[in-house]
Structure 1
Protein backbone atom coordinates (compact mmCIF):
# COMPACT_ATOMS: atom_id res chain seq x y z
CA UNK A 1 0.00 0.00 0.00
CA UNK A 2 1.33 3.39 -0.90
CA UNK A 3 0.06 5.10 2.19
CA UNK A 4 0.81 8.61 3.30
CA UNK A 5 -0.22 9.15 6.90
CA UNK A 6 -1.29 12.48 8.37
CA UNK A 7 -2.55 13.52 11.79
CA UNK A 8 -4.97 16.37 12.50
CA UNK A 9 -6.05 17.72 15.89
CA UNK A 10 -9.54 19.15 15.52
CA UNK A 11 -11.83 20.22 12.70
CA UNK A 12 -9.83 23.22 11.45
CA UNK A 13 -6.59 21.23 11.35
CA UNK A 14 -8.41 18.49 9.42
CA UNK A 15 -9.60 21.02 6.82
CA UNK A 16 -6.02 22.35 6.46
CA UNK A 17 -4.72 18.80 6.00
CA UNK A 18 -7.25 18.19 3.22
CA UNK A 19 -6.09 21.39 1.48
CA UNK A 20 -2.46 20.27 1.70
CA UNK A 21 -3.29 16.90 0.10
CA UNK A 22 -5.14 18.50 -2.79
CA UNK A 23 -8.06 17.51 -4.98
CA UNK A 24 -8.34 14.25 -6.87
CA UNK A 25 -6.58 12.11 -4.27
CA UNK A 26 -8.11 9.18 -2.42
CA UNK A 27 -8.35 10.27 1.22
CA UNK A 28 -9.51 8.02 4.04
CA UNK A 29 -9.92 9.51 7.51
CA UNK A 30 -10.24 7.85 10.88
CA UNK A 31 -12.19 10.09 13.26
CA UNK A 32 -11.25 9.21 16.81
CA UNK A 33 -11.25 10.60 20.33
CA UNK A 34 -8.30 12.77 21.34
CA UNK A 35 -5.64 11.39 23.66
CA UNK A 36 -4.59 12.70 27.04
CA UNK A 37 -1.30 14.58 26.97
CA UNK A 38 -0.30 13.02 30.29
CA UNK A 39 -1.30 9.37 29.73
CA UNK A 40 -1.43 9.06 25.94
CA UNK A 41 -4.75 7.25 26.36
CA UNK A 42 -7.90 8.14 24.45
CA UNK A 43 -11.02 9.04 26.43
CA UNK A 44 -12.85 6.85 23.90
CA UNK A 45 -12.09 3.20 24.64
CA UNK A 46 -13.92 2.05 21.50
CA UNK A 47 -11.64 4.32 19.46
CA UNK A 48 -8.53 2.73 20.95
CA UNK A 49 -9.75 -0.71 19.85
CA UNK A 50 -10.47 0.53 16.32
CA UNK A 51 -7.04 2.18 16.07
CA UNK A 52 -5.33 -1.13 16.92
CA UNK A 53 -7.31 -3.02 14.26
CA UNK A 54 -6.68 -0.38 11.58
CA UNK A 55 -2.96 -0.18 12.39
CA UNK A 56 -2.65 -3.96 11.99
CA UNK A 57 -4.45 -3.91 8.64
CA UNK A 58 -2.37 -1.01 7.33
CA UNK A 59 0.86 -2.75 8.35
CA UNK A 60 -0.23 -5.94 6.55
CA UNK A 61 1.53 -6.59 3.25
CA UNK A 62 -1.67 -7.95 1.70
CA UNK A 63 -3.03 -4.48 0.92
CA UNK A 64 -0.12 -3.64 -1.38
CA UNK A 65 -0.87 -1.60 -4.47
CA UNK A 66 -3.47 0.67 -2.87
CA UNK A 67 -2.75 4.40 -3.06
CA UNK A 68 -4.34 6.34 -0.24
CA UNK A 69 -3.79 9.38 1.94
CA UNK A 70 -4.75 8.30 5.46
CA UNK A 71 -5.60 10.93 8.05
CA UNK A 72 -6.03 10.20 11.75
CA UNK A 73 -8.33 12.96 12.97
CA UNK A 74 -8.60 13.60 16.69
CA UNK A 75 -12.06 15.12 17.25
CA UNK A 76 -11.29 16.61 20.66
CA UNK A 77 -12.20 15.69 24.20
CA UNK A 78 -15.57 14.22 25.19
CA UNK A 79 -17.16 17.66 25.72
CA UNK A 80 -16.03 18.96 22.32
CA UNK A 81 -17.23 15.81 20.55
CA UNK A 82 -20.65 15.89 22.25
CA UNK A 83 -21.30 19.49 21.17
CA UNK A 84 -23.99 19.22 18.43
CA UNK A 85 -22.53 22.26 16.65
CA UNK A 86 -19.00 20.82 16.27
CA UNK A 87 -17.85 20.90 12.63
CA UNK A 88 -17.50 17.13 12.39
CA UNK A 89 -21.24 16.78 13.02
CA UNK A 90 -22.48 19.75 10.98
CA UNK A 91 -20.21 19.58 7.91
CA UNK A 92 -22.44 18.18 5.11
CA UNK A 93 -19.45 16.27 3.68
CA UNK A 94 -18.95 14.42 6.98
CA UNK A 95 -22.15 14.32 9.08
CA UNK A 96 -20.50 12.21 11.76
CA UNK A 97 -22.80 10.73 14.38
CA UNK A 98 -20.37 8.44 16.19
CA UNK A 99 -16.71 7.74 16.73
CA UNK A 100 -14.71 5.83 15.77
CA UNK A 101 -15.63 6.33 12.11
CA UNK A 102 -13.58 5.47 9.05
CA UNK A 103 -14.71 7.66 6.14
CA UNK A 104 -13.57 8.04 2.55
CA UNK A 105 -13.60 11.79 1.93
CA UNK A 106 -15.81 12.71 -1.00
CA UNK A 107 -17.79 9.51 -0.58
CA UNK A 108 -19.73 9.92 2.66
CA UNK A 109 -21.70 6.77 1.93
CA UNK A 110 -18.45 4.80 2.27
CA UNK A 111 -18.00 4.72 6.02
CA UNK A 112 -17.17 2.10 8.58
CA UNK A 113 -18.47 2.41 12.15
CA UNK A 114 -18.89 0.08 15.14
CA UNK A 115 -19.17 -2.86 15.20
CA UNK A 116 -17.72 -3.36 11.67
CA UNK A 117 -14.71 -1.12 12.33
CA UNK A 118 -13.43 -3.68 14.87
CA UNK A 119 -13.24 -6.47 12.28
CA UNK A 120 -9.90 -6.65 10.47
CA UNK A 121 -11.42 -8.29 7.38
CA UNK A 122 -13.98 -5.46 7.02
CA UNK A 123 -11.26 -2.82 7.44
CA UNK A 124 -9.04 -4.54 4.87
CA UNK A 125 -11.93 -4.72 2.41
CA UNK A 126 -12.68 -1.04 3.04
CA UNK A 127 -9.15 -0.05 1.99
CA UNK A 128 -8.91 -2.41 -1.00
CA UNK A 129 -12.41 -1.93 -2.47
CA UNK A 130 -12.47 0.98 -4.89
Structure 2
Protein backbone atom coordinates (compact mmCIF):
# COMPACT_ATOMS: atom_id res chain seq x y z
CA UNK A 1 0.00 0.00 0.00
CA UNK A 2 1.65 3.28 -1.01
CA UNK A 3 2.27 6.27 1.23
CA UNK A 4 -0.83 8.36 1.90
CA UNK A 5 -0.60 12.10 2.60
CA UNK A 6 -2.72 14.34 4.81
CA UNK A 7 -2.56 17.96 5.94
CA UNK A 8 -3.78 19.42 9.23
CA UNK A 9 -3.99 23.08 10.23
CA UNK A 10 -3.66 23.16 14.01
CA UNK A 11 -3.99 20.73 16.88
CA UNK A 12 -7.72 19.97 16.60
CA UNK A 13 -7.44 19.27 12.87
CA UNK A 14 -4.48 16.97 13.58
CA UNK A 15 -6.60 14.98 16.06
CA UNK A 16 -9.35 14.70 13.40
CA UNK A 17 -6.87 13.37 10.83
CA UNK A 18 -5.62 10.77 13.34
CA UNK A 19 -9.21 9.66 13.98
CA UNK A 20 -9.75 9.31 10.21
CA UNK A 21 -6.61 7.17 9.80
CA UNK A 22 -7.48 4.93 12.75
CA UNK A 23 -5.22 2.85 14.96
CA UNK A 24 -2.71 0.14 14.17
CA UNK A 25 -1.16 1.97 11.23
CA UNK A 26 2.26 3.54 10.77
CA UNK A 27 1.79 7.30 11.07
CA UNK A 28 4.58 9.82 10.52
CA UNK A 29 3.95 13.52 11.10
CA UNK A 30 5.94 16.59 10.14
CA UNK A 31 5.20 19.43 12.56
CA UNK A 32 5.99 22.76 10.96
CA UNK A 33 5.21 26.45 11.28
CA UNK A 34 2.09 27.68 9.51
CA UNK A 35 2.56 29.67 6.32
CA UNK A 36 1.90 33.34 5.79
CA UNK A 37 -1.05 33.55 3.40
CA UNK A 38 0.43 36.41 1.40
CA UNK A 39 3.97 35.03 1.00
CA UNK A 40 3.37 31.27 1.20
CA UNK A 41 6.42 31.06 3.49
CA UNK A 42 6.46 29.69 7.02
CA UNK A 43 7.40 32.10 9.83
CA UNK A 44 9.87 29.41 11.00
CA UNK A 45 13.17 29.66 9.07
CA UNK A 46 14.21 26.06 9.92
CA UNK A 47 10.85 24.84 8.59
CA UNK A 48 11.37 26.70 5.30
CA UNK A 49 14.62 24.75 4.86
CA UNK A 50 13.28 21.36 6.03
CA UNK A 51 9.92 21.16 4.21
CA UNK A 52 11.32 20.75 0.66
CA UNK A 53 13.78 18.11 1.92
CA UNK A 54 10.97 16.02 3.45
CA UNK A 55 8.80 16.56 0.35
CA UNK A 56 11.61 15.33 -1.90
CA UNK A 57 12.26 12.24 0.25
CA UNK A 58 8.60 11.14 0.42
CA UNK A 59 8.46 11.32 -3.40
CA UNK A 60 11.38 8.88 -3.83
CA UNK A 61 10.20 5.45 -5.04
CA UNK A 62 11.39 3.53 -1.96
CA UNK A 63 9.59 5.87 0.46
CA UNK A 64 6.51 6.46 -1.71
CA UNK A 65 5.96 2.68 -1.81
CA UNK A 66 5.86 2.33 2.00
CA UNK A 67 2.64 1.68 3.88
CA UNK A 68 2.82 4.95 5.79
CA UNK A 69 0.27 7.64 6.60
CA UNK A 70 2.18 10.93 6.36
CA UNK A 71 0.65 14.03 7.95
CA UNK A 72 1.96 17.56 7.46
CA UNK A 73 0.84 19.45 10.57
CA UNK A 74 0.90 23.23 10.61
CA UNK A 75 1.24 24.16 14.30
CA UNK A 76 -0.02 27.72 13.90
CA UNK A 77 1.62 31.12 13.96
CA UNK A 78 4.54 31.98 16.25
CA UNK A 79 2.28 33.12 19.11
CA UNK A 80 0.21 29.91 19.04
CA UNK A 81 3.33 27.74 18.87
CA UNK A 82 5.04 29.54 21.78
CA UNK A 83 2.07 29.04 24.11
CA UNK A 84 3.23 26.41 26.67
CA UNK A 85 -0.36 25.13 26.92
CA UNK A 86 -0.71 24.35 23.20
CA UNK A 87 -1.72 20.71 22.63
CA UNK A 88 1.39 19.93 20.60
CA UNK A 89 3.49 20.61 23.71
CA UNK A 90 1.20 19.10 26.36
CA UNK A 91 -0.01 15.92 24.61
CA UNK A 92 2.06 13.09 26.18
CA UNK A 93 2.24 11.27 22.83
CA UNK A 94 3.85 14.32 21.18
CA UNK A 95 5.66 16.50 23.76
CA UNK A 96 7.05 18.75 21.04
CA UNK A 97 9.81 21.13 22.06
CA UNK A 98 10.79 22.54 18.67
CA UNK A 99 9.79 22.73 15.03
CA UNK A 100 10.32 21.34 12.56
CA UNK A 101 9.91 17.91 14.13
CA UNK A 102 9.45 14.67 12.21
CA UNK A 103 7.81 12.14 14.49
CA UNK A 104 6.60 8.59 14.13
CA UNK A 105 3.53 8.32 16.33
CA UNK A 106 3.39 5.35 18.71
CA UNK A 107 7.20 5.19 18.57
CA UNK A 108 8.62 7.54 21.22
CA UNK A 109 12.21 6.89 20.19
CA UNK A 110 11.70 7.88 16.56
CA UNK A 111 11.93 11.63 15.95
CA UNK A 112 14.11 14.08 14.07
CA UNK A 113 14.44 17.64 15.36
CA UNK A 114 15.19 21.01 13.73
CA UNK A 115 18.36 20.73 11.61
CA UNK A 116 18.08 16.94 11.40
CA UNK A 117 14.85 17.35 9.40
CA UNK A 118 16.83 19.29 6.76
CA UNK A 119 19.26 16.37 6.31
CA UNK A 120 18.03 14.32 3.33
CA UNK A 121 19.98 11.21 4.36
CA UNK A 122 18.57 11.27 7.92
CA UNK A 123 15.02 11.83 6.69
CA UNK A 124 15.27 8.94 4.21
CA UNK A 125 16.67 6.64 6.92
CA UNK A 126 13.86 7.74 9.24
CA UNK A 127 11.29 6.35 6.81
CA UNK A 128 13.11 3.27 5.51
CA UNK A 129 15.05 1.96 8.53
CA UNK A 130 13.40 -0.87 10.40
CA UNK A 131 13.31 -0.52 14.19
The TM-score normalised by the length of structure 1 is: 0.95
Distance 1:121 1:96, change over 3 A: same
Deviation at 1:107, TM superposition (A): 1.1
Distance 1:64 1:20, change over 3 A: closer
User: Which secondary structure state, in structure 1, belongs to the residue aligned with residue 122 of structure 2?
Assistant: helix
| Counterpart for residue 95 of structure 1 | 95
Q: How does 1:34-113 map to 2 (within 5 A)?
A: 34-63=34-63, 65-113=65-113
Deviation at 1:63, TM superposition (A): 2.9
| Counterpart for residue 16 of structure 2 | 16
The TM-score normalised by the length of structure 2 is: 0.94
Q: How many residues align?
A: 130
Unaligned regions of 5+ residues in structure 2, if any?
Answer: none
Q: How does 1:111-126 map to 2 (within 5 A)?
A: 111-126=111-126
Which moves more between the two structures, 107-116 or 93-102?
107-116
Deviation at 1:64, TM superposition (A): 5.2
User: Which secondary structure state, in structure 2, belongs to the residue aligned with residue 8 of structure 1?
Assistant: strand
Deviation at 1:61, TM superposition (A): 1.9
Deviation at 1:92, TM superposition (A): 0.3
8 Å CA contact retained: 2:102, 2:111: yes
**Structural RMSD (CA):** 1.2
| Counterpart for residue 5 of structure 2 | 5
User: Which secondary structure state, in structure 1, belongs to the residue aligned with residue 14 of structure 2?
Assistant: helix
